[in-house]
Amino acid sequence: MNENNKIHDVAIVGYGPVGQTLAILLGRMGYSVAVYERWQSLYPLPRAVFHDHEIRRVFRMMGLEDELKNISQPSACYQWFNADWKVLVEIDWSAESISDGPFGYLFNQPALEEILDRRAKAIADVEIHQGWELLALSQDAQGCDLHVQRTPRSGETESGEQRQVRARYVIGADGANSLVRRQCGIGWQDLGFQEDWLVVDLQPKPGVELEVPDIGQWCNPARPTTMVPGGPGYRRWEFMRLPHETLEELQNLDKVWELLAPWVTPDTATLVRHAVYQFRSRIAETWRHGRVLLAGDAAHLMPPFMGQGMCSGIRDAWNLSWRLDLIFKGLCADTLLDSYTLERKPQIRAVIDASVEMGKVVCVADPQKAAERDAAFLAGEVPPLPPFPGLVEGAVFKDPRTGSALGIAGTLGVHGEIEHQGRKQRFDDVFGHGFHLLSIGDDPLAGLSPAHLAVLEHLQVQSVRLSLDGAPGTCRDLSGKYHRFLAEAGLQCVVVRPDFYLYGGVSDQAALPQLLEALGRDLQIQHARGAAPRPNQPLAAQV
């Protein structure tokens, strides 16, 4: 029975980093969120160890930067070596990113989940129900019903009470074996990659200095091996299972230390955990089924060679949060959720494909094939990795003739330090979450009609003019990043979505009305039903 007939805005099934992030994002917006997780406590062992600059920017927007500094470290250069330790590939993850900081960070996942857990449980509108599993899920035109059951606690032999929960929307963030996905009958496409790897996490003992590449893939056909930090004070090794080995052999503790022997021993490091994982590549056919949506591993799986597994799930949560916000405010139609799959699936498919191709380079156990691979890389015959994919479908500005994204539409927007009202701050710290109209030159609002201004007001867009000299009515672009970005793209104005991706831009402010008309169509905006702007977010604010 649904106690007190309470209807939540969103029910989330699963309380890993993706479910935690989504609960925090929606809870901070003031929406009623209920989370159900079958396990009674957080998973205590490491899994993901890397997040990139885009995800760091999301975490900063959630107010987590100070805590993250204690559990993470900037990435170093990611190197791939052949069996003789000759460098085949270098990817500089320490380089300055478009998001204002290094490209990537290494972290400890249990410590991250503890931070997210504390933050989620401190939000009044968020209910966290650990030790409750989903039994059944149904939906109608107004909402969803979840049948949940308390899982047995220590010493109990039978499951506990059952409840009916009602929510306007349900998000399945319940992992690769997602019951939410299965209950919705959503297909699960296997993209063909499958390899078993032993994952070993250790904590070097005080004073121990390890002679090992900071972040490396040892592409040795005798035993492909990954070496990477696991956050401050931790290290990880990953060893591919060879064709003649069984899973039982690979998980034997003596075998674990035998594989680690070239680098560490029980005298120099403490074993935190070891487990065999099957690296897979899979993707759900759709990520929306009526009022039910999928996120994270419930929607996609990929090999870890790009470090994008958890990152991709956080992007799902970030993308969903602003869509649901607009729908709950009555600013956009529910059909805005249709473009969630349209946007995220092609981007994720490109990331999975790139991860699989990287895996094919690493996972070579045949000496002859490895020698041919090495020769091609050392001769410079292998093209570099393509840039990280953006968005090609959904709410991005498109050429009406071809339907393709125009120019910078769908790419990640730049982020940097600005001077605003005499203070030097990050852009996000000043203007926060939401839509932004960034411009250089004359005031872009001056020539707009009331109808076009209404689009900006409806979406609570903040207009921010940028300059290099801090002229009146502008924010000073301290690093020049925004001006370089706009100059390279040949643009005067860009509309930035709440998830930092660019809706589109124009090279002449006279074309801004067409951009705004397309924005209104793509977001399917509708008349607000008593919606009010959020505090400190004035309508079409101009700075």
- Which of 323, 286, 310, 458 has its CA nearest to residue 26? 323
Residue 179 confidence (pLDDT) above 70: yes
Average pLDDT estimate for 122-150: 97
Element (DSSP H or E) covering residue 130: strand 126-130
Residues 6+ apart with CB under 8 A from 173: 12, 13, 14, 15, 16, 18, 19, 22, 294, 295, 296, 298, 313, 317
Q: What is the mean pLDDT of the chain?
A: 93
Structure tokens at 54: 């885009």
DSSP 3-state of 129: strand
What is the reported pLDDT for 538? 34
**Fold that domain 3-72+106-188+281-351 belongs to in CATH:** FAD/NAD(P)-binding domain (3.50.50)
Helical residues (DSSP H) of 105-239, grouped into ranges: 109-121, 179-183
**Which comes out higher in pLDDT, residue 103 or 529?**
103
- Which of 386, 406, 389 has its CA nearest to residue 344? 389
- Which of 262, 275, 272 has its CA nearest to residue 210? 262
What is the reported pLDDT for 156? 73
Q: Write b or e for each residue in 437-456: b if 16 or more Cβ atoms lie within 10 A of its Cβ, otherwise e.
A: bbbbeeebbeebeeebbbbb
Residue 175 confidence (pLDDT) above 90: yes
Could you read off the pLDDT of 360-385 as tens digits, one per residue? 999 999 999 999 999 999 999 999 88
Could you read off the pLDDT of 324-352 as tens digits, one per residue? 999 999 999 999 999 999 999 999 999 99
Q: What is the residue whose two structure tokens read 């029975």?
A: 1
For residues 307 and 156, what is the distance between their CA atoms, to the nearest angstrom?
39
Residues 6+ apart with CB under 8 A from 99: 53, 54, 56, 57, 412, 414, 415, 500
DSSP 3-state of 370: helix
Average pLDDT estimate for 107-127: 97
Rounding to the nearest 10 degrees, give the CA dihedral for residues 497, 500, 504, 508: 100
HEC letters along 223-252: CCEEEEECCCCCEEEEEECCCCCCHHHHHC
What are the structural domain ranges in the chain? 3-72+106-188+281-351, 390-543
Q: How confident is the model at residue 2 (pLDDT cuts 50, 70, 90)?
A: low
Residue 317 confidence (pLDDT) above 50: yes
CATH code at 390-543: 3.40.30.120
Q: How confident is the model at residue 4 (pLDDT cuts 50, 70, 90)?
A: low
Could you read off the pLDDT of 221-247 as tens digits, one per residue? 999 999 999 999 999 999 999 999 999
Comparing 33-42, 51-60, 151-160, 173-182, the range with the smallest average pLDDT is 151-160
Residue 541 confidence (pLDDT) above 50: no
Average pLDDT estimate for 429-436: 94
- Which of 357, 355, 358 has its CA nearest to residue 347? 355
Residues 6+ apart with CB under 8 A from 334: 327
What is the reported pLDDT for 41? 95
% of the chain surpassing 90 pLDDT: 90
Q: What is the residue whose two structure tokens read 């690093």?
A: 479
- Which of 386, 378, 383 has its CA nearest to residue 81? 378
What is the reported pLDDT for 529? 40
CB atoms within 10 A of CB 407: 17
pTM: 0.94
Could you read off the pLDDT of 479-529 as tens digits, one per residue? 999 999 999 999 999 999 999 999 999 999 999 999 999 999 999 887 534
